[in-house]
Structure 1
Amino acid sequence: MISVKRATTQDVSLLIPIFNQYLLFYQQEIDLITQEKFLCDRLSHHESIIFIALKDEQIVGFTQIYPTFSSINLTTSLILNDLFVIESARKGGIARLLMDAAIRYGHEIKANGISLETAQDNAKAQALYESLGFEIDEKFIHYFLRLK
C-alpha cells in the first residue's frame, strides 16, 4: 500500500537518496550534504512543501512545490517544481497520488492555481498533467535569464 504524507525536516535524511537520483536524472552532481542543507532550509523556512510517497515505510517518490504570489490577483499561487518516482515504483499511480496531494494542498490554502513545466518530449508526464486538468499556457511566453 502506498501512503502520501507531507514531509518535515525529520524526513529529509530518508529523502536524500531519492532526491539525489532525481538530480542525477537531470545530470546534476551535487554532494549529499549540500542537498540535505538545501531541503532542510526550504522546509524550516516554510519556503517549500514536499510530499513524499511511502511504500513499506520507504520513500519511493516525492513532489516539491513552492508558494509564490500574484500582485494582479492578490493571491497565492504554487509552482510544482519537482516530481519524481523511483524507477522500480513507476507505473503504479504514485505520481498521480503525489499530484493529488499537491492539488489538495492548493485547495486547502485557497491558492489561485498551480503552475509547472516539463520537457517538450515528456509525453507521459504531459498526459498525467492533462488528465488532472492542467492546460498548456498559450497566453503567456515564459522567459528565463541564466545568472550562473
Structure 2
Amino acid sequence: MSFLIRNAEPNDLHNLTVLMYEYIVGFYQNPKPPVEKIHNLIQTLFDQQNGVQFVAEKNGELVGFATLFFTFSTMKADKITVMNDLFVIEQFRGTDVESQLFSACQNYSHNHGYASMTWITSSDNKRAQIFFEKMNAVKGKDWVHYSIS
C-alpha cells in the first residue's frame, strides 16, 4: 500500500477536523469539543511554532494524522517533542501507514535538533503498545502520569 505522508495544509482543515473528531469522540470516547476549538488547534499547528501535524493520504483521502508539540525537558536541559497523537482510521490500522506517520514524527524531531520524542498511550491500548515496541521505543517505568482539569 502506498501512502503519502506530508505536513497538514490549510486545505486539509475540513477533512482533518473529521479525522480528529473520529479520534477524540469515536476512538477515545471523549466529549466532542466545539468545532472552533478544533479549528483553532489545527490553525495553530499550520504555522509550526508550537507544533506540527502530519497527515497520511491515500488516493486523495486523509486516513490518519500525527501531532507533535514542542516543549522542553528540564531533565535533558534541552528541547523535546511530544507526540500527542498518532491516529489511523480503522481500515488502515496495522498497515504501514502507522509506521510511516511515526517515522515522520521521529525524523522531524531528529532533523530539527530535538533531544528526544516522547508520548503516552492509554494503559489498555495494548495494540498501540505492541506497535511502539515494534518501533524500538522504550516503555517508561519511572514516572506516573497525572492530569487535572
Instruction: Report the TM-score, using the length of structure 1 for normalisation.
Output: 0.88
Moved over 6 A (4+): none
For residue 72 of structure 2, the aligned residue among 69, 74, 79 is 69
Please tell me the root mean square deviation across aligned C-alpha atoms, in Å: 1.7
For residue 89 of structure 1, the aligned residue among 79, 88, 92 is 92
Where does the alignment leave 5 or more consecutive residues of structure 2 unmatched? none
Question: Quick one: structure 1 residues 36 and 119, their matched pair in 2 at CA, closer, same or farther if it must change by over 3 Å?
Answer: same
Contact kept in structure 2, 1:9 and 1:44, CA below 8 Å: no
Per-residue deviation, 1:37: 2.1
Contact kept in structure 1, 2:45 and 2:53, CA below 8 Å: no
Q: Distance in 2 between matches of 1:47 and 1:9?
A: 16
Contact kept in structure 2, 1:20 and 1:32, CA below 8 Å: no
Q: Distance in 2 between matches of 1:74 and 1:8?
A: 32
Q: Helix, strand or coil for the counterpart of 1:117?
A: coil
Question: Quick one: structure 1 residues 94 and 71, their matched pair in 2 at CA, closer, same or farther if it must change by over 3 Å?
Answer: same
Equivalent residues, number: 146
Q: Distance in 2 between matches of 1:29 and 1:141?
A: 27
Q: Distance in 1 between matches of 2:95 and 2:52?
A: 23
Counterpart code for 1:26: Y
Instruction: Report the TM-score, using the length of structure 2 for normalisation.
Output: 0.88
